[in-house]
Amino acid sequence: MQLRLFHYGMAVKGTLLVNKKIGHNTIVVRKSMVKVYKDQNLSDNPTANSLEIVNTSRRPNPAHLSRNLIALLSSGGVPQDFFMDLLNKELQDARSDGFKRRAAARAASFHYEKEMIVSGIPLEESYLNFRLPALMGEENKRLKAGKFLLPDSYYLMGTADPSGALKEGEVCIILDNGQVSGKVLVYRNPGLHFGDVHILEAVYLKEMEDYVGSSRFGIFFPTDGPRSLADEMANGDYDGDMFLVSKYPQLLESFRQSAPWEANSSLTKSPSKAPRSMSDEELENVLFHSFLKTRFQPSATTGMAAESWLAMMDRFLTLGCGSTFEAEKRELRKNILQVIDIYYDALDAPKSGAKVVLPPELRVDLFPNFMEKGEDKSYKSTSILGLIYDEVTKFEDRDDVPVSEIVKLSCFAEEAPRELLEEWKMLYNEYRQDMQSSLQNEADKNAAADEVIEKYKRIFYGQTRKYYLSEAGDVYTSGKKEDWPVIEAVDFHTTKKKKEHLFVEARALYQVVYDYAESQRRKASSIKEQQSAIRLCGFAWRVAGTALCALCISSRAEKPMLCSESAFKEMFGRT
């Protein structure tokens, strides 16, 4: 587990693992984990002791590639076909309904959209079918950026070998079924250097079981050697860094490792007062302003260096291997290495206090088209990164397709009671007026629109309608409006209404909204107006989405399953 430990004036940061060789209620820390030692001159001062768990190792999700990693692997000899085959497999899968549903769930921003997808609302449902290209667009963005699945690969938390038995170039990897053996490729994000990708030997260590027992999901690095392997990969450490580990045979066969990155910084640390020489007020002020600067004013140099590196690497990957390009490649490689040093310095600047600047001669003015900087600043890339971008672009859905008839789902088609339909026609007219007024709020249109939706959710889930069902299923009038019961409820889980009553009212709301949307679609004289018409259907799902999804599941005689937000993110979480 990754942790922060504060103990009688000492500050510790790093990773802890189970060690069966030490006693109970004991924590052993390595010297490198101690960031601040106890000041003996302040031994009488009160201290706050705490153990904060930042992260824990867990069963890893499948790992994905990235533009940075693809560029490094390509420069290391991995052929273009390797990446295109992986991409095309995902694009082929994307044509299946199962993939579309998973991709849409991963990309959905709104709770009601997630509910529609996981509850089994058919993908051809008019509103969901309209939203699908936008949701798939998020998936296409991911693929354009090279974030597609790398088989037999996973991200693991790295830590130092507690046994001391690992030799230089060896690692110990523990997964579900215990330790694994053989060649592995290891990379740490956001590595940019040619040598940030390592080929290492995963070995079985009997001694490891004596230390960690049945613990799982981690990669252990040797403590032997002049330099840690983590430091060789983008200046990393064992304080909780995650490492991509791949056992994919085709990748291991073709990749050629380069010499690791060597720190080559000429920066000097900015002079600053030591904390012990400051008053409490001074130290508090310095720490607070340091936090604000790091959190809200990130170094522009980091972003500029990363963009320059990517543009230079694109050019580097397109140059041939003959003598014609040798001089240009040599000069380009030199510039790339300089940019990498500056990038790593910029990443470390908040801790080092150094001011890092990317000199003008290392800044790029023309970018490959996949970086989407605009036509006047772009050229068409022919590197593997450009090929990936072009392939996904060809696959994308067009957004200028006419909207077909807005059809109601059969599970919601049973005609709702006339009184309820009239009631929701009136409320829907009020809603459109309320929403139009809310959009006049220039200060915060989104917040104003959200308030309107909440108002109608309270009406739907909380206030008993003027017309509602009796136990026999008949609709009757409850009397004067001021006599209508009001129940404080804003969602499906807090409402006191009977489920069968709620389902009937959800059908009424759905039918009113969809009929109105279809009438507007028929009047539309352009594709844009047709799309505006079908967007109106969103009101039904924003207000009564959970009830509609529950009704749909009930109509199939299926049982709903509870799913927490955290579990949903774990299953469908964005990459």
Q: Is the pLDDT of residue 230 over 60?
A: yes
Question: Binning pLDDT at 50, 70 and 90, where does residue 476 land?
Answer: very low
Whether 314 and 440 map to the same domain: the answer is no
Report the amino acid identity of residue 158.
Answer: G
Q: Are strands 367-368 and 378-379 parallel, antiparallel or unpaired?
A: parallel
Whether 445 and 566 map to the same domain: the answer is yes
Whether 503 and 371 map to the same domain: the answer is no
Q: Model-level pTM?
A: 0.75
Whether 331 and 480 map to the same domain: the answer is no
Whether 351 and 465 map to the same domain: the answer is no
Q: Collapsing DSSP states into helix, strand and coil, what is residue 122?
A: coil
According to the model, what pLDDT value does residue 31 have?
84
Cα separation, 215 vs 176, in Å, equals: 9
Q: Is the pLDDT of residue 545 over 80?
A: yes
Whether 544 and 476 map to the same domain: the answer is yes
At 73-93, the pLDDT tens digits run 999 999 999 999 999 998 887
Whether 415 and 488 map to the same domain: the answer is yes
Tell me 442's DSSP state.
Answer: S
Report the amino acid identity of residue 219.
Answer: I
Domain stop point among 55, 70, 99: 55
**Residue 147 lies inside a defined structural domain of this protein:** no
**Residue 126 lies inside a defined structural domain of this protein:** no
Whether 467 and 519 map to the same domain: the answer is yes
Q: How are the residues of the chain apportioned to helix, strand and coil, as percentages rounded to the nearest 5?
A: 50, 15, 40
**Residue 455 lies inside a defined structural domain of this protein:** yes
According to the model, what pLDDT value does residue 399 have?
59
Whether 370 and 414 map to the same domain: the answer is no
Domain with 345 in it = 291-375
Question: Binning pLDDT at 50, 70 and 90, where does residue 370 land?
Answer: very high
Average pLDDT over residues 209-215: 82
In terms of Cα–Cα distance, which of 217, 142, 154 is closest to 186? Answer: 154
Lowest mean per-residue pLDDT among 227-231, 242-246, 312-316: 227-231
Whether 415 and 515 map to the same domain: the answer is yes
**CA–CA distance from 508 to each of 162, 405, 496 (Å)?**
65, 20, 19
